Chain A
Amino acid sequence: MIKKDIFSKSYWKYACVVFLTYTVIAGFLMPVPALEILHETIRNLYFHVCMWFSMMFILTVSLVYSIRYLNKPNEDYDIIASQTSYVGLAFGILGLITGSLWARYTWGAWWTNDPKLNGAAIALLSYFAYVVLRNAMDDEQKRARISAVYNIFAYVMMITFVMIYPRLKEVDSLHPGNGGNPGFNKYDLDSHMRMVFYPAVIGWLLLCCWVASINIRTERIKRHLQNQ
């Protein structure tokens, strides 16, 4: 039986389309503070930052389902955990691309030795390793259990690193809002940017869930057909 759940409802998908259409139109056309160096690239806030929010959100979902799987081995939990982490990986890559382009025009380099970039690199590498690990195993239950263990391990290491590292000496980030650089809330005195940023975050989060839900439902059908 294929379950009917929130994934098959369509109201939140319409909401996603509305939010993202607004984000793209308002994001490119609404006024932004005129600043040195940043100039119009400040609009990247509506895209780049949202990618990381979405990634962290969906990877947290993946973690929760990995823990639930270890608690009670249910095939559906494994499907959700694996598919959400693939989507998290995809959003991470998008975050890296948007960030890299931005960095090229503001910092002058595609990649810098920045705590946040190191964190991102660790996150992406460990989730690539997760994909490799999953593909190395054929037995479904074993694959589910072992990849759940690895998922929890990788997630906790990543979070620990992201929390600890920026607190150390001499590793200030170049990112706006860190290491003495003002964040966007300092520039955004008239709250114009907030009016786009918050809907953008919601829109991208919904898109992330939408993509994940399609993946999950496809995988459920695949497993269902295999088991017949």
Chain B
Amino acid sequence: MNQVLAIIQRELRHELRSRKAWLAIMLYTGSTVYISYLGLQGNTDSAAHNAVFWLLIIFISMFATSGSFAGRESEMFYIYTLVSPGRFILARLIYNGLFLLSVSLLAFICFQFFVGFNDTNLLLFLTALLLTVWGISSLLTMSFSIASKGGGGFTLMAIISFPLLVPLLITAQHLSEMAVNGSDVTGYGGYVAALLALDAMIAALCYLLFPYLWRD
């Protein structure tokens, strides 16, 4: 456990130290939200807003994840010799989950500020966001590990992660649409359970399969 915490701390320090990365992500988030605001002007259809929002979340997550890993292979090699792969991936999942959650919260706030959903059930929407982004982050962490081992970088990561993201996103979209169009929210439990199940499944797969990527 201490090792896990130590890795998380280390990652956090690294992230905070590199201002460039933080600024890049914030700028990316702000500008993509603003572009979608320009595109959505005059459109009051909550379904369209919802679709655009989730698209933004995917692209921002991709950008943020690949940014936080890029150019650090030599450091990784150093960590390989110190901790077991299981602990390493655990720390990675927790850190990356928290990181993407804060980025997507920022995106949500920006989106509310510029575009704005009309009649939002905030609690339900944030639940959907939390569960989905957690799943996305684990999935992207794993995809990025696979892609970087495959020597493909960002393009390969996008190719192999998009199909796997679909289940999460379809469920998230159904759930968040309930939250934004002001209709009744009966039956949301099923979607929440589905998202939880997907998250658990992805985390378990990462934990089980990561050691095989690690071995070289």
**A interface vs B, CB < 8 Å?**
70, 118, 121-122, 125-126, 128-130, 132-133, 136-137, 142, 145-146, 148-150, 152-154, 156-157, 160-161, 164-165, 167-171
Contacts and interface: CB of A to CB of B under 8 A. Distances in A.
A160 B205 CA distance: 12
A142 B215 CA distance: 10
Given A146-B213, A149-B209, A171 B164 contact: no
A152 B198 contact: no
B182 interface: no
B149 A152 contact: no
Given A149-B213, A153-B142, A132 B160 contact: yes
Contact of A152 (B174, B197, B205): B205
A168 B164 contact: no
Interface stretch (B26-34, B36-44, B150-158): B150-158
Contacts of B198: 160-161, 164
Interface stretch (B82-90, B116-124, B187-195): B187-195
B51 interface: no
Nearest to A164: B194
Contacts of A160: 167, 197-198, 201
A153 B194 CA distance: 18
A139 to B, nearest CB: 9
Chain A CB within 10 A, most for which of B147, B150, B174, B205: B150
Contacts of B142: 153
B174 A171 contact: yes
> What's the dominant secondary structure at chain A's contact region?
helix
16 contacts: A121-B166, A122-B164, A132-B159, A133-B156, A133-B160, A149-B209, A150-B160, A152-B209, A153-B146, A156-B205, A161-B198, A164-B171, A164-B197, A165-B170, A168-B191, A171-B174
B156 A132 contact: yes
Contacts of A133: 146-147, 150, 152, 156, 159-160
Nearest to B149: A146
A45 B202 CA distance: 34
Nearest to A127: B163
B212 interface: yes
B146 A146 contact: yes
Given A148-B212, A153-B164, A165-B171, A129 B190 contact: no
Interface string B125-164: 0000000000000000010001101111000100110111
Given A118-B166, A154-B163, A149 B187 contact: no
Interface residues of B, number: 31
B15 to A, nearest CB: 26
Chain B CB within 10 A, most for which of A122, A157, A169: A157
B156 A136 contact: yes
Which 9 A-B residue pairs are closest in the complex by CB-CB distance? Answer: A125-B163, A161-B167, A126-B163, A169-B187, A129-B160, A136-B152, A136-B150, A149-B209, A164-B194
Given A153-B209, A160-B197, A169-B187, A137 B151 contact: yes
A130 B164 CA distance: 11
A156 B201 contact: yes
Contact of B194 (A70, A145, A168): A168
Contacts of A129: 159-160, 162-163
B201 A157 contact: yes
Nearest to A143: B150
Contacts of B213: 145-146, 149
Contacts of A128: 163
Nearest to A159: B201
